[in-house]
Chain A
């Protein structure tokens, strides 16, 4: 089946730093989604990307849909304590979404005081 590889697995940063994480796949995806999950809660959709090369922002978050359709990047500028959590990339399964989403294993973001 399709797999999404996220890196890094964990990030330890200082408040105020910028954050970059990425997601790669051996398969082509036509949609890339980025979610954030807080402890004990469900994932919350941050950004959705629908076109290769697309660059989309949501406040301090910026995500890009790679030209090859096999990768995507998420950047967070000027991190704040509430950015702590697990960030997941996801894309529709090969059934065009009819089979649900494939998720990466997540990037754990930890902000040190």
Chain B
């Protein structure tokens, strides 16, 4: 059974801190890994990773994938209160010719002023 595990499940930091969120996975036919941010509404896309070792970056957020060790990390530097959200990791796998997504349970990040 495909599995995506995120850690920690929750995290409380102060503004300005740097945080690292983890996502490990076990899937039979890996295609890609996705990161989303979810505030009090629908998830919004952050990154898609398909190749090991290539960092994706957007402002203070960055992410990298390790396909050998089967994990990804999401880094947020100089955190702001607006970064408070649940961060979701999802893995796309191929099953019977179709593409299926499996999500982790998310990491709830709280950034205090």
Do A and B bind? no
